[in-house]
Amino acid sequence: MSIEVRTHTALHVLKGAVQRVLGAKWTAGVYVEGSHGRLTVQVERKPTDGEMALVEEEANRKIMEDAPVEELEMDRAEAEERFGDAIYDLFPVPFSVKRLKILYIKDWNVNACKEKHTRSTGEVGCIRLVKVRYRPSKGLLEISFDVYPP
Ligand SMILES: [Zn+2]
């Protein structure tokens, strides 16, 4: 399994942690290169160092659980009825798209996503946050991280 698949899946694991700890709902951007990734989310204020440490801890706790990472495929209307707008990011899926692939980590993260994923969170390895930047004018939090082998 390629390192990019692990790093990409780490974005979903991290998003679940960010949702829980910071109440962040909307993803504004993602970036993956090798074992390095960056998740950008919308939040109302700059998180404390303690909160970011908790985000890292929660993400790695989910990895330790080795929870199943499921890829569902369903009609868009059905997905919206079941999951609401939680499946979407800030950048909308075009109206012409009627069938969606859904990334599903139970009680953690659900997101319309066409990328490839690991089969469980344990395969991601370990997530280390390397840099956190908050842009108050846009309310955007950029979280840069690395993944390490399990
Ligand atoms: Zn994905």
Cα 47 to middle of ligand 1, angstroms: 25
Q: Which domain holds residue 50?
A: 3-148
Overall average pLDDT of the 32-38 stretch? 97
Overall average pLDDT of the 99-120 stretch? 97
Q: For residues 59 and 33, what is the distance between their CA atoms, to the nearest angstrom?
A: 19
Cα 138 to middle of ligand 1, angstroms: 24
Q: Would the pLDDT of 118 be above 80?
A: yes
Q: Which of 101, 98, 94, 117 shows the shortest CA–CA distance to 15?
A: 117
Q: Which of 121, 120, 67, 71 shows the shortest CA–CA distance to 100?
A: 71
pTM equals: 0.96
94, 95, 138, 144 from 69: Cα distances, Å: 25, 27, 31, 22
Cα 121 to middle of ligand 1, angstroms: 12
Q: Would the pLDDT of 56 be above 90?
A: yes
Q: Would the pLDDT of 150 be above 90?
A: no
Question: Given pLDDT bands bounded at 50, 70 and 90, which one contains residue 91?
Answer: confident
Cα 82 to middle of ligand 1, angstroms: 18
Overall average pLDDT of the 2-21 stretch? 97
Overall average pLDDT of the 7-35 stretch? 97
Cα 79 to middle of ligand 1, angstroms: 16
Cα 104 to middle of ligand 1, angstroms: 9
Cα 113 to middle of ligand 1, angstroms: 5
Q: Which of 57, 69, 58 shows the shortest CA–CA distance to 123?
A: 69
Cα 87 to middle of ligand 1, angstroms: 11
Indicate the average pLDDT of the chain: 96
Q: Which of 18, 101, 8 shows the shortest CA–CA distance to 56?
A: 18
Question: How many domains does the chain divide into?
Answer: 1
CATH of the domain at 82: 3.30.980.10
Cα 40 to middle of ligand 1, angstroms: 14
Q: For residues 16 and 57, what is the distance between their CA atoms, to the nearest angstrom?
A: 12
Overall average pLDDT of the 96-125 stretch? 96
| Cβ neighbours, 10 Å, residue 71 | 14
